[in-house]
């Protein structure tokens, strides 16, 4: 029976990381338990990691935002001698299913992106303090930090050796961050990514691979000094953090899932998951004190955490459910009231963190390799923040006019100010801007519709939904679409959807996910990497990989 991967954890269960808090500075130690891999068959030696290690890191980064807002600087270090991090565990990669490898890389990317954006979003600055070998995914951990410090000794180096050693790419943003973020010259990047041994000392600084190179005898003292300097220069203001408690989640024998605000029904015959989001029942906290008192039970925070967990659970544990149908039920006015309450105090640290979390959750939905459709039924609450789901979806269907026997309020959409800049996509545009890339003047028109009740004909006229159907055609049209979608090749769907979702300008983030979807996905299928004589299989055996030398 396949093991269910649980993305929920807490500090009492960490096996691979520890955090020491010192007022405005947090020291984050990677100290991987080599015998605590997520699956059997490999040891996590040399601070190498698997998905379980990354799940803990993701939890730490999230808790740092909500539970420790006083932190201004996070220093990422190794808890082991002579090694910072050896990267993703090769035995794990060699033995994992293709789908697991790709989803592992995607989650790893998302975790890196989260702490990379922590300075801009939350005023938390990440430093990588490298002592010892820092290779592959280990260097990618460092690359996502804002400042990289390397000790100058005979054993400390940075490297991206995936190409010469494993016949794969530095797939969690390594190639992209070297060139796009650190602006390393192309020819030097070519050399660097072709070297097994990596680069040390002054050359690493000269090439722009690190920011500082420090004599070994002065390293610890300098790291402490730099962290204090950056903390002192921060203007971040934060109050007392809130505790993130465990989510209320139940998984039934048939795999269906229920949270406090989300229900998920599975239809394995048609490879479909129906995700129903419930609107709020109570009025929002009316000031920052009330919001803090509500803690992790405030509606939009609770819903964001549950939706995030649901996305990850379905991604890794239900890979054959290729169609996600997302629906909502509730009062759209209350949704907008909760959103407005946050926006009115968005400079308060907790309101800001909730809004930033929604930005990340919606981005996670954007890059999920599933066909996503949104259903705007009577009684739905696609308003403001929840309306973003409509434009993250590949298609949307809306009920037109009354349906016989349906007593729910008529289907409608409501736009809010949040739809026009609060939640940018990876391409740095809003979902509405991306949707109307060829008609930017229409975005200005839609802004004038903020707060209006947009029933089906208006929503269709304004281009906000794909199709509208009355009760005569509704069920048949949805059934035909879903049956057709379920019959298509999932590979073709992944490629098509990933291409269509990100029109507009390229950014470092879109390039990272685009290269993962296209090139790393392809490489992970090729015998040169994963075949019986491929590099991932033969790594560590002393036998060189046998490559098919045809260029494609």
- Computed over every residue of the chain, the mean pLDDT equals 95
pLDDT at 1 over 70: no
Give me the pLDDT at residue 2, please: 74
Secondary structure element (H or E) that encloses residue 324, with its range: strand 323-329
Query: How high is the pLDDT of residue 420?
Result: 98
For residue 2, the 8-state DSSP code is: P
Task: Give the model's pLDDT for residue 246.
Answer: 97
519 confidence band (pLDDT: 50, 70, 90):
confident
Supply the pLDDT for residue 551. 85
Model-level pTM?
0.96
For residues 301 and 67, give the distance between their C-alpha atoms in angstroms, rounded to a whole number. Answer: 13
Tens-place pLDDT, residues 283-295: 999 899 999 999 9
The three-point CA angle 221-223-224 to 5° equals 65
> Could you tell me the domains of the chain?
11-233 (3.90.226.10), 250-499 (3.90.226.10)
Cβ distance 127 to 226 under 8 Å?
A: yes
Residue 278 has pLDDT above 70, yes or no: yes
Q: What pLDDT shows up at residue 331?
A: 98
At 144-179, the pLDDT tens digits run 999 999 999 989 999 999 999 989 888 778 999 999
Average pLDDT on 240-260 reads 95
| Average pLDDT score over residue span 7-35 | 97
Does position 457 have pLDDT exceeding 70, yes or no? yes
Average pLDDT over residues 216-231: 97
Residue 522: its pLDDT value, please? 86
What are the Cα distances from residue 137, in Å, to 4, 47, 84?
Answer: 25, 11, 11
Q: Is the pLDDT of residue 306 over 80?
A: yes
SS3 489: coil
Confidence band for 239, pLDDT divided at 50, 70 and 90: confident
Helix, strand or coil for residue 51? Answer: helix
How are the residues of the chain apportioned to helix, strand and coil, as percentages rounded to the nearest 5?
Answer: 45, 15, 40
Q: What is the pLDDT of residues 367-417, one digit of tens each?
A: 999 999 999 999 999 999 999 999 999 999 999 999 999 999 999 999 999
DSSP H or E stretch at residue 445: helix 440-447
**Band of residue 237 on the pLDDT scale cut at 50, 70, 90:** confident
Q: List 76's β-bridge partners, or say none.
A: 28, 128
Residue from 485, 308, 452, 468 nearest 403 by CA: 468
- pLDDT tops 80 at residue 444: yes
- Inter-axis angle of helices 51-66 and 98-116, nearest 10: 30
- What is the torsional sign of CA 448, 454, 458, 461? positive
88-139 residue pLDDT tens: 999 999 999 999 999 999 999 999 999 999 999 999 999 999 999 999 999 9
Residue 260's pLDDT is: 98
- Is pLDDT larger for residue 336 or for residue 520? 336
Q: Averaged over 463-478, what is the pLDDT?
A: 97
Q: Give the model's pLDDT for residue 133.
A: 96
């Amino acid at each position: 029976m396949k093991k269910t991967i649980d993305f929920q954890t807490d500090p009492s269960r960490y096996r691979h990381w520890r955090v020491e808090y010192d007022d405005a500075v947090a020291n984050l130690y990677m100290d991987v338990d080599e015998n605590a891999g997520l699956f059997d068959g490999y040891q996590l030696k040399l601070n190498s990691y698997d998905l379980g290690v990354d799940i803990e890191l993701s939890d730490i980064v999230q808790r740092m935002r909500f539970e420790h807002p006083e932190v201004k600087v996070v220093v990422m270090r190794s808890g082991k001698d002579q090694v910072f991090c050896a990267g993703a565990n090769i035995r794990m990669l060699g033995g994992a299913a293709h789908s697991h490898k790709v989803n592992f890389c995607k989650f790893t990317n998302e975790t890196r992106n989260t702490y990379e954006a922590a300075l801009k979003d939350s005023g938390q600055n990440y430093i990588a303090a490298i002592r010892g070998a820092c290779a592959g995914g280990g260097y990618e951990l460092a690359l996502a930090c804002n400042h990289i410090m390397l000790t100058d000794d005979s054993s400390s180096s940075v490297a991206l050796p995936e190409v010469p050693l494993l016949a794969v790419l530095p797939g969690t943003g390594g190639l992209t961050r070297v060139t796009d973020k650190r602006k390393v010259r192309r020819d030097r990047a070519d050399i660097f990514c072709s070297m097994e041994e990596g680069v040390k000392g002054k050359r690493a600084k000269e090439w722009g691979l690190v920011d500082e190179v420090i004599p070994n005898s002065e390293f610890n003292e300098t790291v402490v000094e730099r962290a204090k300097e950056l903390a002192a220069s921060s203007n971040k203001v934060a109050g007392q953090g809130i505790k993130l408690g465990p989510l209320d989640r139940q998984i039934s024998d048939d795999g269906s899932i229920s949270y406090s605000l989300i229900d998920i029904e599975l239809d394995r015959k048609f490879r479909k998951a129906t995700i129903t989001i419930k609107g709020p029942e109570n009025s929002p906290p009316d000031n920052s004190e009330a919001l803090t008192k509500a803690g992790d039970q405030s509606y939009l925070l609770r819903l964001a955490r549950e939706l995030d967990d649901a996305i990850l659970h379905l991604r890794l544990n239900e890979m054959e459910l290729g169609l996600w149908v997302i629906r909502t039920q509730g009062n759209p006015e209350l949704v907008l009231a909760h959103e407005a309450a946050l926006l009115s105090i968005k400079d308060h640290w907790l309101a800001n963190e909730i809004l930033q979390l929604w930005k990340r959750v919606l981005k996670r939905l954007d890059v999920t390799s599933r066909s996503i459709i949104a259903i705007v039924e009577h009684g739905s609450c696609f308003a403001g923040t929840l309306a973003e789901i409509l434009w993250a979806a590949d298609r949307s269907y809306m009920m037109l006019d009354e349906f016989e026997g349906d007593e729910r309020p008529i289907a409608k959409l409501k736009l809010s100010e949040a739809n026009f800049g609060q939640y940018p996509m990876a391409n740095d545009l809003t979902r509405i801007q991306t949707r109307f890339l060829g008609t930017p003047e229409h975005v200005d028109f839609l802004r004038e519709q903020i707060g209006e009740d947009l029933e089906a004909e208006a929503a269709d006229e304004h281009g906000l939904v794909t199709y509208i159907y009355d009760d005569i055609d509704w069920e048949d049209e949805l059934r035909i679409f879903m049956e057709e979608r379920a019959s298509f090749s999932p590979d073709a769907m992944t490629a098509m959807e990933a291409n269509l979702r990100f029109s507009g300008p390229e950014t470092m983030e879109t390039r990272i996910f685009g290269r993962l979807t296209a090139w790393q996905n392809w490489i992970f299928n090729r015998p040169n990497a994963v075949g019986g004589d491929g590099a991932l299989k033969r790594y560590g055996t002393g036998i060189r990989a046998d490559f098919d030398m045809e260029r494609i």
